[in-house]
Chain A
Amino acid sequence: MFSDLNNLLAISKENHLQGEFVVISSSKADGSFLIHHFLSFFLKQNKPVCFVGFSQSYNHYNTVAQKLSCNLNAAKTSGQLVFIEGMKLLGDAVSGNRLVKGDNSLMCNTDFDLQKFFLCIKSSLDSLKVNQSQDPVLIIDNLSFLHYIGCSIPQLVMFVNYLLGKVTSQGTGSFVLAIYNDMISVDEESDLLWKNLSHLCSLTCQVTGLESGYSKDVHGELLITWRSRDVKQSQTKKTQFKLLDKNVTFFASGMSSAVL
């Protein structure tokens, strides 16, 4: 949990993203630090969290969370956290040879069955809500993997819409979603996904690499945009960052300690 980032995102004690839909996009730089931040942040707020990890194994998330002084194992046993090992689930589904036992297969003919997967997430959200008597937070890292293995964009947008309805309908749950969006390369479909999601969401965090290329001391730029219905209120913030072992430092563009 990074306190600087909370200030940037205007997160305070009263307002911790209830009913918000946050989309994190990364291109040319790794935005996964935001995911780790949100995971430990919501767990420390005693919120029930459902986490779907497509990009890494549970072990990775757990080790990083420990560095941010947050224990995923304890949260799991206390029932505060439901961790869905999306990577393993997806890998087993597409390799097909050791399908999930019985007829619980997540594949429908040759395609990944998003509807079954939605029901799987829905049931864990429901059980979290009943057990913790609080609206849960859903974090998905990273939706683009579903696209890569062959889910079409309209399907994915529908999937996100269903999840959004499920999580934020009461106005107290939150939904954090990460995608890859390579604006530089010509991947039209991922651009389409990004446009659709930014249409739905209330807060976007765009992590991009530097325009001037790779640097050892400045790891990327973060553009935060609040989308409110009132045009006057919507605001953006741009900052550069450097990742450290257990923290992230933010500074204004061109104000890196390596430059000055």
Chain B
Amino acid sequence: MAAPMKQSQTSFQKKIPTKLQIPGTKPSLYNNQLLISTGIPSLDNVIGGGLAVGTVLLIEEDVFGGYGRLMLKYFCAEAVMTGQALFLGSMDNMPSQILNELPAPILDDPGPDSEQLVTMDTERMKIAWRYQHLPQFQSSPVGTKFGHYYDLTRSMELEVISSINTLLIGQSELTETGSSEHPMNPYYLQLLKRIQEKIESDGFGTAVQQEKRNILRIAIHSLGSPLWGENGGLNQNGNYDPSLPRFLLALRVLMRSAFAVCVITMPTHLFCDEGFVVRVERLCDTVVHLESFAGSEKEKNSLYKEYHGLFNIRQLPSLNSLTCHMPDTLDLAFKLRRKRFSIEKLHLPPELSETASRPQEDPLSNFKSPSQTGSCGTSLGFKNKLDF
């Protein structure tokens, strides 16, 4: 009896042994999708842990485009830190310029300090001595970390960046025109071809069997700006031009069969047709929208003085499940400190002084004529039965 028992001991194994460990990824708790970090841990948190491999994130840029570009840099910097491959395409800027401005990582684990270990050893635990002989557990597994923090005041060294597999696609690479008779804008088509070539040549496709898997990060800056030849979904004759939706659909198909994640920033505020923006959003998986306070009325509003802009989650993907990740709220705010960009819950600043009321409340009280205070208002001189 003993021999078969021994064999059956193994029946309680994990269903899927850790089959593929790709640096910088973790499985999702919700739907078992493989996730990668956006480079901004607070953003990962609100979109359900990170970006699922094989999906497209659309960042709708703020009016001046600065914050959208910053988020893209974080995404690229994370590729460098995890050793993943990077494909960077831009028409508005030189891609090399974006690459040179990546934020430097904050390395918080400089390795175990030898001196500290010695002192730890001599100084025995006094309290709770009965736990002394228990093995020490590590709460978080060591290895490649998921999501890093960066220091915006310094830029990443070029030697570090050159350690990963990068492909930069700028204006000069995209202007090779092929046949004119094609269902898509030539720039988009060229970009699509480049992405496809990269996936095929470096073996990022799911069909290819590989010993050591890696993830391809595709970052596209300001897709759909006028330099791409986009005119808000209209062609020169004023008819509907489906180039951008077609590109996004083809991109989604490419992504679904590859170990790749794509992040696109898009100046959707340049498109005059709201309906076109909705179509573009539908063809991406995760969609977030940035609204910067710079140059707007909200900049001066003391309600918002702690933030630099509003951050809306427009769409979250439901992958392999009926429902998508449901955060508490879709309306958040972003803040740019000296060293760090973060996404936070929008809340009102604390009321510090007892007497002062917020300035934006003042105009309201001016509108209130005594007759309008139907509720228990405190309009002096006008005696209502409900007033007190």
Contact = CB atoms under 8 A, between A and B. Distances in A.
Interface string A23-52: 000000010110010000000000000000
Contact of B240 (A33, A64, A150, A243): A150
A33 B322 contact: yes
A109 B252 CA distance: 23
Interface residues of B, number: 37
Given A92-B253, A148-B249, A60 B320 contact: yes
Interface in A72-95: 87-88, 90-92, 94-95
User: Which among A59, A94, A145, A216 has the greatest number of chain B C-beta atoms within 10 A?
Assistant: A94
A88 B245 CA distance: 14
A5 interface: no
A42 B321 CA distance: 19
Contacts of A187: 274-275, 278-279
A87 B256 CA distance: 10
A214 interface: yes
B322 A148 contact: no
A4 B51 CA distance: 33
Given A94-B183, A96-B182, A189-B275, A145 B323 contact: no
B252 A244 contact: no
A36 B322 contact: yes
Contacts of B328: 216
A126 interface: no
B330 A214 contact: yes
A188 B275 CA distance: 8
Contacts of A71: none
A109 B254 CA distance: 23
A12 interface: no
Interface stretch (B16-24, B188-196, B359-367): B188-196
Interface in B171-198: 181-184, 189, 192-193, 196
Contacts of A186: 274-275
Contacts of B329: 214
A67 interface: yes
B275 A182 contact: yes
A245 B31 CA distance: 10
B26 interface: no
Contacts of B182: 96, 110
Interface in B313-343: 318-324, 326-331
Contacts of A64: 320-322
B246 interface: yes
A180 interface: yes
A28 to B, nearest CB: 10
Contacts of A115: none
Nearest to A110: B183
Given A63-B320, A94-B183, A216-B327, A145 B278 contact: no
B249 A91 contact: yes
A241 B368 CA distance: 40
Given A94-B246, A94-B249, A109-B181, 7 more contacts: A30-B318, A59-B320, A60-B320, A95-B246, A180-B278, A187-B278, A245-B323
Top 8 closest A-B pairs, CB basis? A91-B253, A187-B275, A150-B242, A95-B250, A243-B323, A63-B320, A94-B246, A110-B183
10 contacts: A63-B321, A87-B256, A91-B253, A110-B181, A110-B183, A148-B245, A149-B245, A149-B246, A185-B278, A245-B322
Interface of B: 181-184, 189, 192-193, 196, 240, 242, 245-246, 249-250, 252-254, 256, 274-275, 278-279, 282-283, 318-324, 326-331
